[in-house]
Amino acid sequence: MIRTTALPRRAAVAAAVSVAGLAALAGCAGTTSAATDDPSDAGSTPRETGSAGAATYADGTYSADGSYIDGGGTLETIAVTVTLAGDVITDVEVTGDPQNPESGRYQSEFIGGIADEVLGKDIDEISVDRVAGSSLTSGGFNDALEAIRSEASA
């Protein structure tokens, strides 16, 4: 269906004619099959070629530390380990070494909620800003994730 509300009438008519023309041409294609790289695939859908869908990062398990300044001005560090498969995070582990009790509470909350935020997602789509109420720990996680991206670049 072509929506004409955003197009001037003349453009909408031209678009409809173009779609109808393409449909007619598609009907003329007959039974000729597209060529593929493998002769045993004759008659099947052509395979995608090029770099679309290629992994950007090497599969494996990577670790890095990330740091941030807590609300009291103390430098805090967390250790992040992720497992990648096809650029998707399949496992994540975060450990902390808090320098004060308040940071310990926030790190613990972050560690308890991070898996829900990142598992099953493309590593390039991840940039956390607040996890389970912890916003500063997120900065350390994002730092570590950036180091992991650099290390895992294929």
Listed by start position, the domains of the chain span 9-41, 60-152
Which of 23-32, 64-73, 131-140: highest mean pLDDT? 64-73
CB atoms closer than 10 angstroms to residue 143 = 18
CATH topology of domain 60-152: Enolase-like; domain 1 (3.30.390)
Of 150, 134, 130, 144, which Cα lies nearest the Cα of 78?
144
Question: pLDDT at position 53, please?
Answer: 59
Query: What is the predicted pLDDT for the residue at 67?
Result: 96
Residue 70 pLDDT level (bands cut at 50, 70, 90): very high
Write out pLDDT tens, residues 38-58: 333 444 332 222 334 577 999
For the cut 60, the answer to whether the pLDDT of residue 8 exceeds it is no
Q: What is the pLDDT of residue 69?
A: 94
The predicted structure's pLDDT at residue 20: 38
Contacts (Cβ under 8 Å, ≥6 apart) of 24 = none
pLDDT at 135 (0 to 100): 87
